[in-house]
Structure 1
Amino acid sequence: MALSGRIRSGISLFNKLGYLSSDSLSAQRSTLTRTLIAPANSVASRNFSAQSGQQKEENVKVPKALFGGSGNYASALYLAAVKSNVLDKVESEILDLVEAAKNSPTFSQFAKDLSVPSETRAKAVQEVASQAKFSEITTNFLVLLAENGRLRNIDTIAKRFIELTMAYKGETKAIVTTVIPLPPAEEKELRETLQEILGAGKKVKLEQKIDPSILGGLVVEFDQKVFDMSIKTRALQMERFLRDPVNISNI
């Protein structure tokens, strides 16, 4: 069964088990050694896999500094995944879990409900991870989030984690917004243009968004830059021009 299918099965099992209505469970806590990253540049060594002796603690660093709680958790996950040589697998698992959870209102409610006992949250995510056959790093990380009441932040943490994996791979995310999907030829041309702008050291990861409100044209966002070539923006610019008073002295 594909990973996304296993995750759906795990969340389906979670729904059937009715964790939202259960009282505190006396589930045994896993004997995991888990630590958190302290503020992004003062890293406290966190080992999620309980196999710290098998991996050298050589100079593994995050490719960019992230701040705040979500940044710290994302950095911790990144370091653990890199040290265990499972970065791509963990990335795939986290993204698939976030996507599957969006389609489960029950799981989303559960993740946000801090009144659920921590041992109940931990037991639930272990069931989902077991069904999905997640790696040990991902499983332990999700248990940590559940125990610390951070499961509700999984979307944000996942986004910050992807920032790190993309930086590690030399990728730059570009978001193009259009009224209808770009034809393959135009998408290829846009990708090549962005690649020329970014230079040979970067790889473009193109994400398309559909927004009928821009009326036509496109909006491209990358590297904290926005190129707005939409008909909507052009129309607003024209409207402002027409509304400006005419300076007679220049006539």
Structure 2
Amino acid sequence: MAMSGRIRSALPLLNRVLRSDAAVSQRAVLTPAFTATSPSSEFAKNYSAKAGTTEAKVKVPVTLFGGSGNYASALYVAAKKANALDKVEAEFLDFVEASKRSPTFSLFMKDLSVPVGTRVKALTEIATEAKLSDITKNFLVLVAENGRLRNLEIIAKKFVELTRADKGIVKAVVTAVEPLAPQEEQELKETLQDILGHGKKVILEQKIDANILGGIVVEFGEKVLDMSIRARAQQMERLLSQPVDLF
């Protein structure tokens, strides 16, 4: 059975856990490596330092901020140390996608009134049933223990930022009033590829926004290329509003 199928089939275990009268704290199932209690930079340091299988130091390719950024960075470092980045990424994203398709689990993740023991027990059983790797399983359990399941989708998005940067993949977001034709999309990708140079791979994400009136707006990295009609109109308006010296 494919990994995503295993995860979906494991989610019904949640119902059994929620009905259990013996839902108590399961801290014992955690390895000593996963003992953080808050989504702080210290958590990221402890998790990533101990979860890997080698002593080699790993530096995150992109600096992320906030609690979700710390979680994503810690998971990246742990997976990278264990030489299991692709596997952990696939497992993590499949888990998040499968959980989004389960109304019961989505509600479970957002409900802060669920006891810590119930959260931990549910995530432990689901991850074990789905045969997730130890890094992914222990990370999910720790997120559950720390009451951050409601942030799992945000953590996953930030984690993808790191894995893409690790692979030299740059996402460019192009905004237009209508979808680009295939030839236009290819030409834009080639242009961005020339700008970024070798060693980078461009992927395009298209957004539709009638408010730009025409043209395109391209965002990649920290750069914004605004070639929209709206931007040109605003520039013209500024020029026309300036006083004219007739002499």
User: How high is the sequence identity, in percent, across the aligned residues?
Assistant: 59
SS at match of 2:159: helix
Q: Distance in 1 between matches of 2:119 and 2:5?
A: 22
CA deviation digits over 1:5-53, x for unaligned, max 9?
A: 3333333x1564473x76670364414221559638x9335434xxx6x
SS at match of 1:43: helix
In the alignment, which of 35, 38, 41 is matched to residue 39 of structure 1?
Answer: 41
Distance apart, 1:193 and its partner CA: 0.6
CA contact (8 A) 2:217 2:226 kept: yes
Check if 1:78 corresponds to 2:76: yes
In the alignment, which of 51, 54, 57 is matched to residue 55 of structure 2?
Answer: 57
Check if 1:134 corresponds to 2:136: no
CA distance 1:212–1:101, shift in 2 (3 Å): farther
Structure 1 unpaired stretches of 5+: none
CA contact (8 A) 1:118 1:149 kept: yes
Q: Map residues 115-154 of structure 1 onto 2, 5 A cutoff.
A: 115-154=113-152
Distance apart, 1:71 and its partner CA: 2.2
Distance apart, 1:74 and its partner CA: 1.4
CA deviation digits over 1:182-241, x for unaligned, max 9?
A: 333222211111011112132223222334554543221111122223345455556x46
TM-score scaled to structure 1, two decimals?
A: 0.79
Match of 1:30 in 2: 29
Distance apart, 1:142 and its partner CA: 0.4
Q: Distance in 1 between matches of 2:201 and 2:69?
A: 23
Q: Map residues 208-219 of structure 1 onto 2, 5 A cutoff.
A: 208-219=206-217
Distance apart, 1:138 and its partner CA: 0.9
Match of 2:204 in 1: 206
Q: Report the more deviating stretch, 63-72 or 117-126.
A: 63-72
CA distance 1:246–1:162, shift in 2 (3 Å): closer
CA distance 1:214–1:16, shift in 2 (3 Å): farther
Q: Distance in 2 between matches of 1:15 and 1:38?
A: 28
TM-score scaled to structure 2, two decimals?
A: 0.80
Q: Distance in 2 between matches of 1:217 and 1:104?
A: 40
Check if 1:8 corresponds to 2:11: no
Match of 2:108 in 1: 110
Structure 2 unpaired stretches of 5+: none
In the alignment, which of 65, 68, 74 is matched to residue 67 of structure 1?
Answer: 65
SS at match of 1:114: coil
SS at match of 1:115: coil
CA contact (8 A) 2:169 2:200 kept: yes
Q: Distance in 2 between matches of 1:217 and 1:22?
A: 58
CA contact (8 A) 2:17 2:122 kept: no
